[in-house]
Structure 1
Amino acid sequence: MSRTLRPALVAVLCCLLLVTSGCSAVTDLTGERTATPPSAADAAASYRGFDALEATVVTEVDGETETRAHVVQRPSTGETWRETLAPAERADDRVVSNRSVTWSYDASENDATRIDTSRFEAANDSYPEYLRRVFAALDRTEDSEVSVGVSPLPVVPATPTPQPPGDATVGQQTVEYAGTATVDGRETHVVRLVTEDTDGEFAVRNQTVYLDAEHFFPIRQRMAFRMDGNVTRYDVTYRNVTFDPNVSTDRFRFDPPEGTTVSETSLPESTTYDSVEALRAETNASVGDPTVPDGFSLREARYTVSTERNYTTVTRTYENETGVLSVAVRNRTDLFSGVGESENVSLGPVTGQYREFGASRSVSWTANGSYYSVSSNVVSRATLLDVARSLVRADAVERRRDYGRAYSE
């Protein structure tokens, strides 16, 4: 792998591995197979039972230490303070994020970026729910070594820069309980996830997560992925972990040093709703209702407005016991060109572009001046296209209703 590509790949995998840097001291890597998996309810409740943590985090890539950092996090709110310790050329770099602003500071260049996040309504911390699903799936099997279908564990809210919420999953995986192990002196429950389908240009091959036995925070994550035929292995470990340290709100503020060059940007304004009806009532957005598979229910509807780039997006996220299905409509067609190769597919009166990224599937198309997409990491290709076709039909019905209302007025 070229040195020029590695920094970009590290950034991508940081999002998947909740990276914020550190060093690895792990014993008993095979785990004790006689251990019994905890209950789903206990896992979720234990994660919710702490407020903050402080640690040194080490990120290794292919066995070589890439970064070490001192971090303080409040996972439930997404508040993060991160100071890079190594390598030397990045020492003293900082990322500080609270509920209204995120700062990214480059110490060697003495410049900082301020990102206004005050208008972006962040999603609730979904990690406890994913823990519940993982251990509930394990509980449905008589043998803890039997693999069952479940989405990969998502990112704990510790990503250095704010992003539109998502589940940070890369295809459907199977999960198995691998017993217990000790990580830097703390007992952990070991969960292994293996991707069922590793075709495509990018694929996560496997992931091993070490969940703190007391708080169920992932204090170590190992992952291997393949990109363009090359396999890269990541290992992220939280060391010297202290749960519920004495952390003041000032820790999540940043005052740039004198002489710092500051650039500013902002995230789009984003609001979540418990139902599509509530979104329609408050925004007057025309939203067709797709037909989703049995077992899926609406988790949230989101309305996003960007004044800088002049667009609005309506996103609906549905979920079942194993993963999510997302449907998005944006009122512009010139802001997305797709990732990777695509295949033309018939969606009735329109032609869509079908893509697979690892085991994740998506189909997108443009019509009536808008961009549409349907994506999922758990449903089949056929089911995904059926949902897309139902959205095409529902959108046509909704537009006829809008025309009728306008005509009657």
Structure 2
Amino acid sequence: MEAGSEDRSAMVPNRSSVLVVCLAAALALSGCAGQQLTDDQEQRVAEKFEERLSEIDGYHATVTVSSTFDNRSFEMTTEVWARTGTGEMRQEVLAPPDRAGSKTVSNGSVMWTYNAAENTATRIEVPDVGTTNTVPRVERLVENFDIYSNGTVDLNGTETHKLTLVPNESAGPALSGTITMWVDTEKLFPVKMSMAFGEATSTVRYRNLTLDPDFEDGTFEFDLPEDAEVRTPSTPNVSEFQSYDRLADAVDRPIPGRELADRFAFERGSVVDGSTSIVSLEYADRDRTVTMQVTAAGERNPSDGENVSVGDRTAQYSEFGQMASLTWTCEDTAYTLLGQFEQETLVDIAADIECPSPR
């Protein structure tokens, strides 16, 4: 694993989702428990986002992230300083003991991650994440989630508004999980968030929260230890294709045809060349999409899903929230179908795909 990758996985949630829910809480105060916000209320959330964003300069808090996946649990506590709308952030690991001292620091354009146990640092160029780039993500969140007010509840002595965000029919694969938030009634800031994506769960808890703190000079500057090893992450090369023929000519691995199951037509594709080479093809019918990923057999960890029969082949079926996948192997090539479908539908699509002849 690349140095600092676990540190980045525990970083605080995207601030756009934090602030949009703050607004949702403010708009839902007059509603009764279990009431869904109307379309007009959700639209007001997006329209007033920039106004709310300008009111908060940043925050300082102790953040604990607890995650569970595949019967394994992980917990990390960090101290976080963040300046809203600039991408400036500092995160220092407090626990567990074997990760204490590791840190992630970003000045908005360059992010450093430091692994204290290995005494290694990684420098990453990051894109501009100012307020103008944040608003579209907020609008997408409002568009793809139904927001429910669950009334006012006490959370360890703090009065909070409890909110639930449930993906609607417009939600894509990346928004397939249900989110529950507890928003401080006084500060209108989430002090706890729980996310469930199938069998994977994650809970984020904010303590000792201070809004608009006085950031000391150098808070968002990284001091590289003199004896630290600096590592440069390898960036995969990504090529995108709108033409099926051009995609087929660009790869040396057999790929499915222009259509799947006589109703899903090729829309676009991509090739990612990195530590693992992945060919992705996106197909669509009138209202749904399905993605096919093609890799060399053995390049990815084998699925621990349910074995199902697809014609004379055996495939592995897995579910992740609203997403499902079906993976099988032909010769030296692995194929994975991904989409928001029932198992039977994915099996029917896969059964219509013959193992392509090797090139």
For this structure pair, what is the TM-score category when the shorter chain's length is used for normalisation? Answer: 0.5 to 0.7
Contact 2:60 2:80 in 1 (8 A): yes
Correspondent of 1:237 among 189, 199, 206: 206
The letter for the 1-side match of 2:348 is D
Correspondent of 1:41 among 40, 43, 63: 43
| Separation in structure 1 between the aligned mates of residue 343 and residue 312 of structure 2, nearest angstrom | 19
Displacement, 1:363? 0.8
Q: In the TM superposition, what whole-angstrom CA distance separates every residue of 1:145-186 from its partner, at most 9, and x where no partner exists?
A: xxxxxxxxxxxxxxxxxxxxxxxxxxxxxxx43246799999
Displacement, 1:384? 2.0
Alignment-derived partner of residue 335 in structure 1: 299
Contact 2:179 2:195 in 1 (8 A): yes
Q: In the TM superposition, what whole-angstrom CA distance separates every residue of 1:283-337 from its partner, at most 9, and x where no partner exists?
A: 8346644548999996x7443111xx3x4312346799x997543122x212123
User: Could you say if the C-alpha distance between residues 315 and 368 of structure 1 is closer, same or farther in structure 2, counting changes exceeding 3 Å?
Assistant: same
Correspondent of 1:261 among 203, 206, 229: 229
Taking structure 2 as the reference length, the TM-score comes to 0.59
Q: Does 1:386 align with 2:348?
A: yes
Alignment-derived partner of residue 271 in structure 2: 303
Contact 2:62 2:78 in 1 (8 A): yes
Q: CA RMSD in A?
A: 5.7
**Would you tell me which structure has more strand in proportion to its own residues?**
2
Where structure 1 has 5 or more consecutive residues not aligned to the other structure, the ranges are 1-9, 21-27, 139-175, 195-203, 404-409
Secondary structure at 1:383's aligned position in 2? helix
The letter for the 2-side match of 1:276 is Q
Q: In the TM superposition, what whole-angstrom CA distance separates every residue of 1:37-66 from its partner, at most 9, and x where no partner exists?
A: 26333334445664884331421659xx95
User: Could you say if the C-alpha distance between residues 359 and 226 of structure 1 is closer, same or farther in structure 2, counting changes exceeding 3 Å?
Assistant: closer
Secondary structure at 1:258's aligned position in 2? coil
Alignment-derived partner of residue 84 in structure 1: 93
User: Could you say if the C-alpha distance between residues 86 and 288 of structure 1 is closer, same or farther in structure 2, counting changes exceeding 3 Å?
Assistant: same
Correspondent of 2:277 among 312, 322, 331: 312
| Separation in structure 1 between the aligned mates of residue 313 and residue 323 of structure 2, nearest angstrom | 22
The letter for the 2-side match of 1:177 is S
Displacement, 1:373? 0.7
Taking structure 1 as the reference length, the TM-score comes to 0.53
Q: In the TM superposition, what whole-angstrom CA distance separates every residue of 1:88-129 from its partner, at most 9, and x where no partner exists?
A: 77554211357886532134x47124165689xxx9975641
Where structure 2 has 5 or more consecutive residues not aligned to the other structure, the ranges are 1-5, 16-24, 68-74, 128-132, 168-175
Alignment-derived partner of residue 315 in structure 2: 352
Q: Figure out how many residues of one structure are paired with residues of the other and give that number.
A: 309
Alignment-derived partner of residue 58 in structure 1: 63
Secondary structure at 1:352's aligned position in 2? strand
Percent sequence identity over aligned pairs: 19
Contact 1:32 1:181 in 2 (8 A): no
Q: Does 1:277 align with 2:282?
A: no
| Separation in structure 2 between the aligned mates of residue 313 and residue 349 of structure 1, nearest angstrom | 25
Alignment-derived partner of residue 160 in structure 1: none
Report 1:99-110 matches (<5 A). 102-107=111-116, 109=117
Secondary structure at 1:130's aligned position in 2? helix
Correspondent of 1:94 among 81, 88, 103: 103
Contact 1:313 1:328 in 2 (8 A): yes
The letter for the 2-side match of 1:129 is R
| Separation in structure 1 between the aligned mates of residue 79 and residue 145 of structure 2, nearest angstrom | 29
Displacement, 1:74? 6.3
